[in-house]
Amino acid sequence: MGVLIDGTWQVEDPRTKEAGDGSFKRVNSTVRDWIAPEPMPPGRLHLFVAWNCPWAHRAMLLRVVKGLEPEIDISYAAPRRNDQGWVFEPDGEFADTLFGGEALHQVYGRIDPAYTGPATTPLLWDGGAGRAVSNESADILRMLNAAFRDHGPDLAPESLVDQIDAWNAEIHPKLNNGVYRAGFARTQEAYEAGYMDVFETLDRIEAHLGDHRYLCGETITEADLRLFPTLVRFDVAYHGAFKCNRNRLIDMPNLWRYARELYALPAVADTVRFQVYKNGYYSKSELRNPLGIVPLGPDVDWTSDV
């Protein structure tokens, strides 16, 4: 994966070293600022996202669930990276509608001419202040909910924050990132550790949803928005491409009901692109898919009654 080093784009990160135990290590977010919960004119905030990216999907979900499409502008990177990382097209759906750039790393270059770090999505930009705010999806969800608390549902009400944080602390390392720990593992032991965490967590959520509509009861929260991107990619990508194949999502009745209910919320289906996920996760990879063959299936109906 490419990276900016002192403001210069490097196609390969010269600092990358494989973990000694063969496990996958996710890089830390590099932009961690905040916005005050104050009135903001429409269009002041701008999101840079990629359809493929589950972390960007969280921000896309918050934007539609809270009805913030008129408030927060968005630019979608083209759905497959090249040697320049996430890139944009000159116009159309995959254009940089804020700066008109060719690649996301050019946006990161605006943060600091000597910026060092990966150019990842999501990235939240404050046009009013002329600065990048954050590329940490967890922070973006929490701060945007606070900044636009009066728009749509409150996704982190004070009475539920402890429950939300507890679910996030379990689901992120063991499931959201667990599928990557399984899929990108370089040893059998590292793969099995990720795999076991994935299904231990799915089993716990499956049991919990037997008595609860959402993770925190009857109210949709930030925790649900952080879980959904993993679920919607599971059967079409993680089950096969990442060898998380003990069960499919559709084999777990409570999770399948819950995921379809979230999918049926207004505009949520518009944030989902199953073929993009398959093309991305089954893209040609020397280690995972050397021939780059993308499977035709599975054919799963997410619109069936819940």
Return the structure tokens found at 290.
């050397």
Catalytic residue among 53, 115, 195, 216: 53
Question: Residue 52: CA atoms inside 13 Å, Cβ hemisphere, count?
Answer: 18
CB 121 within 8 A of CB 48: yes
User: Is 214 noted as a catalytic residue in this protein?
Assistant: no
The one catalytic residue in 76, 108, 115, 180 is 180
Q: Is 53 a catalytic residue?
A: yes
Residues recognised as catalytic: 53, 180
